[in-house]
Amino acid sequence: MLQCVIIDDEPLAREILEGYLIKSGVTGVVQFGNARDALTYLQTREPDVLFLDIEMPEMNGIDFLKSLAQPPVTVFTTAYRDYAFEGYELGVIDFLLKPISFPRFGHALEKVRDFLQLKEQNTNLEQNLSEDKPDFVFVKSGVQRVRLAFDDISHIQGLKDYAIIHTVTGKVVIKGSVKAMLDIFPPTRFLRVHKSFIMALDKIRRIERNRIIWGSYQIPIGRNYKEEVMRVISP
């Protein structure tokens, strides 16, 4: 059972999120109307997921998240779209823009559940790249070794000390930073487009403003990476 914490200074926003969680089968929910009380609570407890508003009095959500030594999996909830980029740089798993619909909330909760489940599999990459193996990498999960073809990978999202590898058949969560992934996935096929994202070059087909659109995913392009992205994709 998931243990969830909601932090939002708006009572109605908290009630909506708790209602969505209960509707989704999650009953372990604790609410806080300010960051101070939530910080005291988290000093002795370790919830699975945090739904965190950004614009709050006394301490905003960004400063709150930065103050946590070991933050839980976090979903930002806010009425301001401009915070999305900073949120991903802090390692949040998703960003919900108010007013939050139940289908969009369900998509975020599915991300959380997938990540927590895959994280428990203790999967690791094997650094086995060589000149005669240029098109794939192996991951090891327990006693199993699974081959990941580069053609099947669309993007990689960094989440604190973990990386989520998105493939055409699903997702793989491994221990390691985005920077560590750059040492394994060849630069001729993969490009870092954001502090927390790596994109497969052959999957960059549509860009809207500062986002790469891939199916239902919107991968942000960081300010420090935009020039290189545009240079690589330009004919």
Domains 3-119 and 123-233 share a fold: no
pLDDT greater at residue 145 or residue 193 = 193
Helices (H), the chain: 11-23, 35-42, 61-67, 84-89, 102-119, 178-182, 226-233
Band (128; pLDDT cuts 50, 70, 90): low
What pLDDT does 69 receive? Answer: 87
Residue 210, pLDDT score:
87
Q: What percent of the chain has pLDDT over 70?
A: 91
pLDDT digits (tens, 9 = 90+) for 94-127: 989 999 999 999 999 999 998 888 788 666 766 5
pLDDT at 142: 63
Q: Using CA atoms in the order 128, 201, 89, 214, what is the torsion angle rounded to 10 degrees?
A: -120
Whole-angstrom Cα distance, residue 235 to residue 222? 21
- The pLDDT of residue 91 is 82
Dihedral angle sign, alpha carbons of residues 221, 216, 119, 49: positive
CATH number of 123-233: 2.40.50.1020
The residues near 123 (Cβ < 8 Å, ≥ 6 apart) are: 139, 140, 141, 172, 173, 174, 175
| Residue 130 pLDDT greater than 60, yes or no | no
Higher pLDDT pick, 4 / 223: 4
Average pLDDT, the chain: 88
Domain 3-119: give its CATH code.
Answer: 3.40.50.2300
- Domain assignments of the chain as residue spans, ordered by start: 3-119, 123-233
Predicted TM-score (pTM) of the model is: 0.76
Weakest-pLDDT range from 131-140, 172-181, 218-227: 131-140
32 close to 6: Cβ distance less than 8 angstroms: yes
